[in-house]
Structure 1
Amino acid sequence: MPTLDLTLSAADLTRAICDIPSVSDDERVLADAIDEAVRALAHLEVHRDGDTIVARTQLGRAQRVVIAGHIDTVPVNGNVPTRDVEIDGEPFIWGRGTVDMKGGTAVQLRLAAELADPVVDITWIWYDHEEVEASKSGLTRLAATRPDLFAGDLAILGEPSNGEVEGGCNGTLRVVARTRGRRSHSARAWMGENAIHAAAPILARLAAYEPREIVVDGLAYREGLNAVRISGGVAGNVIPDLCEVEVNFRFAPSRSGEQAVAHVREVLEGFDVEVTDLAEGARPGLDAPIAQDFVRAVGATPRPKYGWTDVARFSALGVPAVNYGPGDPSLAHHDEERVSVAQIEDVERGLRAWLTAG
């Protein structure tokens, strides 16, 4: 079984944990390696739930910070094992998971091992099943079994943010809009009603839709409403009687999930619309003094997070949360996924400085 040496550099740890198989549903080996490594640290109290590992300091500090990262990846596509590459003279680590989000996870593991006497108490969480439906997520399970482990004055998710602080996140909503018709032989199309043709107004409305940019607590979030999948048809000689258009709405955290659903129903008025997935967004949370101290300590200029991340889970529990990790988010899940070694080192340096008041 693979083991992890937490005295390695964060870059070397990134290589090591990326090379341990950990596609969603296959995280057990990596979870075991993390569990074994952190249980050897006398300054941490360790709790395990499935393939989620929680390690906490219990120093009686006035404030507690939760620092979390997921350990699973999307499926590989010939991009493991990792390898070192150089781009414009800058070293990168190439491979699945380097951006999303093993670089951030490696920084967390190294600091968890090193920081036995931080200025705040820390709850480290490494969790499974982030890249699949929320019902499988280790955080969903942990919230049900041990909600006390989420307690904190600030949460930091190591999601890729180019080494900058990204506050909050957009919400995400998926619906299926359906049109129905009547089957007939395509040689006698007048005998039927074509459900795919009937979906044309849905696509026209979406193509004409002008998304908003909304400022929330000083950060400008961009919304988006798009068709992401369309299906219909029975055979090459049959007029289809059903067409389904899947629509994804990324909405600013100023909207509630209920408001987002109402907006999409308004845009698609007159059509059969079924909500299939909904995750609330999260406000930036940067007005909390501890969050402001963190931003100053790492020398970052806060930006909005356009995608959904688990900061929303903490925000819903009243814990302000931000994203802070190495890696370009646009390369997450990409076949050329790669993380800058310099960004890994910068994030490690920033977190250490804040957690030690150094």
Structure 2
Amino acid sequence: EGERLFGLGTSDMKSGVAVQIELLEDPRILNGPYDVVGVFYDKEEGPAAENGLGDVLDTVSWLADAVFSIILEPTDLRLELGCNGVLNADVIFRGKAAHSARPWWGENAITKAGAWLDKLHTMEPDPVDVAGLTYREVFSVTRISGGIANNVIPAETVINLNHRFPPVYSTDEAIARLRSVAAEADEVIIRDHANPGLIPQGNPHLDRLVALAGDDLAAKQGWTDVARLTERGIDAVNFGPGEVALCHQASESVAVASLDAAYSVMVAFLADSRE
């Protein structure tokens, strides 16, 4: 509609995929100074263990020789470096079932969690500086379940706690921090985790990209496969046309001009061999 594309996934990250496909067909890239490879895979948004990039990297081993990688994640046309790691955990509060007419015979597991939920509701993001960029460590409740019937005091409530942690912490350290935050619970079960992504150091291709995309660098607050690439020694960054504030929303959209701008930067970057 007008100058915007609307639809689920337009910002995160179909617009980036569209730019990527067009680049792979551009003769300036095909005949340019670099061997440019487009990598496509499934389940990027799902649990870390099901992410398809790992299988691609295992099968196509020569991809590990890449000197630089750009993930066209939504970044509002800014270069976003590294990325937060992510944990998901079941935070479990237990009580005792009883008939709701006589709640004093039981203990309500849902209301037992109330004080802890209130603490999470007011918890502020913790800014952490890494190489001059500000990441924010956050703990977010994203799901909650409990109760079996309208007339039964619930004996258990299970809360998903999502933890985003900056690349100054290892995954083990982040797990310890999550357990500390959830110390009031009866049990904490780690369900899923993904390591944070590292910031490239001393890579001339990053310097070239900064010259083209601008030096308004930012930390990547979300998790991306920059993490999976840097784990394997491949320098990687996030840069794409999508608008971060619109991701995962029913009204998701992206400006057509942003696709054009991202495309222009990438053509200039991939067609120029100066280092």
Normalising by structure 2, report the TM-score. 0.91
- In the TM superposition, 1:239-318 aligns within 5 A as 239-271=153-185, 272-285=187-200, 287-318=202-233
Q: Indicate the SS of the match to 2:38.
A: strand
1:100 is aligned to: 12
CA distance in 2, matches of 1:336, 1:353: 32
The answer on whether the counterparts of 1:298 and 1:354 sit within 8 Å (CA) in structure 2 is no
Distance change >3 Å, CA 346–CA 214, structure 1 → 2: same
1:319 is aligned to: 234
- In the TM superposition, 1:19-58 aligns within 5 A as none
1:354 maps to 2:260: no
Distance change >3 Å, CA 310–CA 270, structure 1 → 2: same
Could you tell which deviates more after superposition, 187-196 or 136-145? 136-145
- In the TM superposition, 1:62-77 aligns within 5 A as none
The answer on whether the counterparts of 2:167 and 2:196 sit within 8 Å (CA) in structure 1 is yes
| Counterpart among 103, 112, 121 of residue 198 in structure 1 | 112
| Counterpart among 226, 248, 273 of residue 140 in structure 2 | 226
Could you tell which deviates more after superposition, 329-338 or 258-267? 329-338
CA distance in 2, matches of 1:225, 1:214: 14
CA distance in 2, matches of 1:235, 1:198: 18
Write the deviation string for residues 62-104 of structure 1: whole angstroms up to 9, x where unpaired: xxxxxxxxxxxxxxxxxxxxxxx23xxxx11222332122221
CA distance in 1, matches of 2:172, 2:93: 24
Distance change >3 Å, CA 270–CA 147, structure 1 → 2: farther
The answer on whether the counterparts of 2:47 and 2:192 sit within 8 Å (CA) in structure 1 is no
- In the TM superposition, 1:66-215 aligns within 5 A as 85-86=1-2, 91-114=3-26, 115-215=29-129
The answer on whether the counterparts of 1:167 and 1:286 sit within 8 Å (CA) in structure 2 is no
Q: Indicate the SS of the match to 2:40.
A: strand
The answer on whether the counterparts of 1:134 and 1:140 sit within 8 Å (CA) in structure 2 is no
Q: Indicate the SS of the match to 2:102.
A: helix
Could you tell me which amino acid in structure 1 is paired with residue 233 of structure 2? G
Q: Indicate the SS of the match to 1:223.
A: strand
The answer on whether the counterparts of 2:229 and 2:236 sit within 8 Å (CA) in structure 1 is yes
The answer on whether the counterparts of 2:94 and 2:155 sit within 8 Å (CA) in structure 1 is yes
CA distance in 2, matches of 1:98, 1:220: 27
Q: Tell me how far 1:232 sits from its aligned partner.
A: 0.9
Identity of aligned residues (%): 37
Could you tell me which amino acid in structure 2 is paired with residue 320 of structure 1? D
- In the TM superposition, 1:340-351 aligns within 5 A as 340-351=255-266
Could you tell me which amino acid in structure 2 is paired with residue 298 of structure 1? A
| Counterpart among 338, 342, 345 of residue 253 in structure 2 | 338
Q: Tell me how far 1:139 sits from its aligned partner.
A: 0.7
Higher relative contact order (CA closer than 8 Å, sequence separation 6+): 2
Unaligned runs of 5+ residues in structure 2 are none
CA distance in 2, matches of 1:193, 1:253: 40
Q: Tell me how far 1:270 sits from its aligned partner.
A: 4.3
The answer on whether the counterparts of 2:84 and 2:221 sit within 8 Å (CA) in structure 1 is yes
Could you tell me which amino acid in structure 1 is paired with residue 221 of structure 2? Y
Distance change >3 Å, CA 150–CA 330, structure 1 → 2: farther
Distance change >3 Å, CA 202–CA 287, structure 1 → 2: farther
